[in-house]
Homo-oligomer: A and B are copies of this chain.
Amino acid sequence: MPLSEYTIDPDLDLVLEREVAVPKEKVWEAWTTPEILMQWFCPLPWKTVECEIDLKPGGLFRTVMESPEGQRMDAGNGCYLEVINNEKLVWTSAMEADYRPAPASEDNPTGFFTAIIMLESTDTGTRYSVISRHSSAAHAEAHQQMGFEGGWGTALEQMVSLIKTGSIT
């Protein structure tokens, strides 16, 4: 599904677009299978130590990350919104499972966001597009400062390496 399907607001949305040399079915599998996702989802040296996926609109998407020193970062209980096999995955931190609005979190500078992940086959692999939607320019800016593009880009490189070689390094 192409990025052009959506209108981008440059003040509120962050976009990542990459070409990767692996088939989109493998990218989809990496995003939707907990045992695989846990291997690539978090840029090293942090690790994803917990992952729950209930792959349906309204289903839970939950991850917990951990630093080498054992610091845990609970990414919260997100909710899947759209699940179109091998094409599009949409989930949000603004809601928990079964579409319950998430409690406001004052100490989270990036606020809630919705991630729209789109996959398209190309001659050599997959065009991988992500839109991260925010409610305010301040939240989008904070997410960018925290390293949205670097973080998601590094995670994607780890995923591609995992698919190609069975290892993320």
In contact, A98 and B133 (Cβ under 8 angstroms): yes
Q: Give the number of copies in the complex.
A: 2
Chain A contact residues, CB within 8 Å of chain B: 6-7, 12, 57-58, 81-82, 90, 92-96, 98-104, 111-114, 116, 133-136
In contact, A99 and B103 (Cβ under 8 angstroms): no
In contact, A135 and B99 (Cβ under 8 angstroms): no
Measured in the bound complex, the distance between the Cα atoms of B90 and A82 in whole Å is: 13
Partner of A114, one of B100, B103, B111, B114: B100
User: With A92-B95, A95-B94 as given contacts, are A113 and B136 in contact (CB-CB < 8 Å)?
Assistant: no
In contact, A135 and B92 (Cβ under 8 angstroms): no
Measured in the bound complex, the distance between the Cα atoms of B95 and A116 in whole Å is: 14
| Chain B contacts for A103, CB-based, 8 A | 135-136
In contact, A99 and B90 (Cβ under 8 angstroms): yes
User: With A92-B95, A95-B94, A95-B114 as given contacts, are A82 and B57 in contact (CB-CB < 8 Å)?
Assistant: yes
Minimum CB–CB distance from A76 to chain B (whole Å) comes to 12
| Chain B contacts for A100, CB-based, 8 A | 12, 114, 133-135
Measured in the bound complex, the distance between the Cα atoms of B97 and A8 in whole Å is: 12
Measured in the bound complex, the distance between the Cα atoms of B90 and A100 in whole Å is: 11
